[in-house]
């Protein structure tokens, strides 16, 4: 939790396990075969500065900086969000999963990064998996893996949370 990883090596696997209310944010440049994954725990840093990957408002710019340093081009970056479950029966204002998803979306919008696919919400944890040069997938706890975005070149197709091709 609160960590991020970046790779420009085809076949490398980046994994965020145990995404309950947390968000796994993948940023990819499919043409450069560069990908990064952050395990975001909270929507706002509220003055804290470390660890950057823990907070949506700090993690998004940090992940962008690191994938660019690995060879990605900003104009080709796509984002995929996984997680943000409502793990406990609480009021909407206390739904940290929804707040995390919204915090990540807002930070991506500020940075001008397009969300290509997402699988967020529900009430079960997930695992986010990025295989550089292959795909980004989500797996519900106890379920099967679902591919959300193919990374096999620029002609790849994305799947929305509903499973419809885009």
Alpha-carbon distance of 41 to 57, in angstroms, equals 11
Q: What is the pLDDT of residue 143?
A: 87
- Domain range for residue 52? 4-150
Q: How many domains does the chain have?
A: 1
On whether residue 166 sits in a domain, the answer given is: no
Read off the CATH number of the domain in which 144 is found: 3.30.1330.200
Q: For residue 121, what are the contacts with CB-CB under 8 A and spacing of at least 6?
A: 84, 85, 86, 97, 98, 101, 161
Average pLDDT over residues 53-72: 97
81 found inside a domain: yes
Decide if pLDDT at 47 tops 70. Answer: yes
Q: Residue 118 falls within a domain, yes or no?
A: yes
> How much is the average pLDDT of 129-144?
92
Catalytic residues: 22
Average pLDDT, the chain: 89
Question: Which token pair is 156?
Answer: 């790849």
Instruction: Confirm whether 91 is domain-assigned.
Output: yes
Domain annotation covers residue 155: no
Tokens of 77: 């970056």
The answer to whether position 160 is within a domain reads no
What share of residues in the chain are helix, strand, coil (percent, to 5)? Answer: 25, 35, 40
């Amino acid at each position: 939790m609160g960590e991020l990883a970046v790779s420009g090596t085809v076949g490398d696997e980046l994994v965020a396990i145990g995404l309950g209310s947390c968000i796994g944010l993948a940023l990819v440049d499919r043409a450069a075969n560069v990908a990064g994954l952050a395990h975001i725990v909270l929507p706002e840093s509220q003055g804290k500065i470390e660890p950057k990957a823990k907070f949506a408002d700090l993690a998004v710019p940090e992940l962008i900086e690191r994938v660019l340093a690995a060879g990605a081009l900003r104009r080709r970056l796509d984002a995929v969000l996984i997680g943000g479950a409502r793990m406990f029966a609480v009021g909407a204002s206390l739904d940290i999963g929804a707040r995390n998803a919204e915090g990540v979306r807002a930070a991506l919008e500020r940075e001008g990064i397009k969300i290509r696919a997402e699988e967020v919400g529900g009430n079960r944890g997930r695992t986010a998996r990025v295989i550089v040069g292959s795909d980004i997938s989500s797996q519900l706890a106890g379920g099967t893996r679902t591919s959300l975005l193919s990374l096999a070149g620029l002609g790849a197709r994305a799947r929305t949370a509903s499973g419809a091709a885009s």
